[in-house]
Amino acid sequence: MDSTQDFRAVIAAVSRVTGIPEDKIFSRRGGREYFDARWMAVQLLIDMGYYDRQIADITGMTQRGINKIRAEASKRMAGTWKQFRTNLESLRNTFGITATA
C-alpha cells in the first residue's frame, strides 16, 4: 500500500473503534476522545514504518504537533489507561502489527 491508502485504512479503522467520524479525527476539535483517536492513528502509522515528518505531511499537522501528540500519549499510556490500550491493540491486530510502543 502507499501512504494515502495506509492513511485511509488507518483512519477508517480508528473511526470504527472510537466512534469519531473519519473527517473529524485530525480536525482541530479538542476533547479527550478526539485526542485519543488522533494518537491511535499516529501510533498505527508509526508502527507501519512512517516517520513523524511523513505523518505530518499526510495529516496536515505540523511535525511539532505530531511530536506533542506522541509525548502526551506516552504519559497517558504509563498510567492505567486500560480501554485505550485495549483499543490500540485491537487496531494493531487489524493491521497485523506487532507492538512497538
pTM of the model: 0.78
The 10 Å Cβ neighbour count of residue 6 is: 17
Q: Is the pLDDT of residue 101 over 60?
A: no
CATH architecture of residue range(s) 3-94: Orthogonal Bundle (1.10)
Tell me the per-residue pLDDT of 71-93, one tens digit each, with 9 for 90 and over.
Answer: 887 776 666 567 777 788 888 88
> Is 22 within 8 Å of 15 (Cβ atoms)?
yes
Tell me the per-residue pLDDT of 12-67, one tens digit each, with 9 for 90 and over.
Answer: 999 999 999 999 998 888 888 898 899 889 989 998 999 999 999 999 999 999 99
The pLDDT value given to residue 79: 63
